[in-house]
Amino acid sequence: MQAKLLDVELSIRGILRGYGLKVGEVSRGRFEAPIRELIQGHDMLETVIGPTRRG
């Protein structure tokens, strides 16, 4: 399960990198907030990445 979570996080970082956005170092468990901040205002990124939120 943790390996899949890491895969998702790395995929999100890769998608953002394609848009010139970098996440930087984020402590475990605090990944969602900086991502939400970065994708805010980017309709395409909100559509693609928004639904991947942890629940």
**54, pLDDT greater than 60:** no
> What is the model's pTM?
0.80
**55, pLDDT greater than 60:** no
Using CB atoms within 10 A of its CB, is residue 39 exposed (0-12), middle (13-18) or buried (19+)? buried
- pLDDT (tens digit per residue) in 12-50: 999 999 999 999 898 877 888 999 999 999 999 999 888
**51, pLDDT greater than 90:** no
- What is the crossing angle of helices 32-39 and 2-18, to 10°? 20
The one-letter amino acid code at 13 reads R
- Dump the DSSP string for the chain: -HHHHHHHHHHHHHHHHHTT-------TT--HHHHHHHHTT-HHHHHHHGGG---
Task: Look at residue 53 in the predicted model and tell me its pLDDT.
Answer: 62
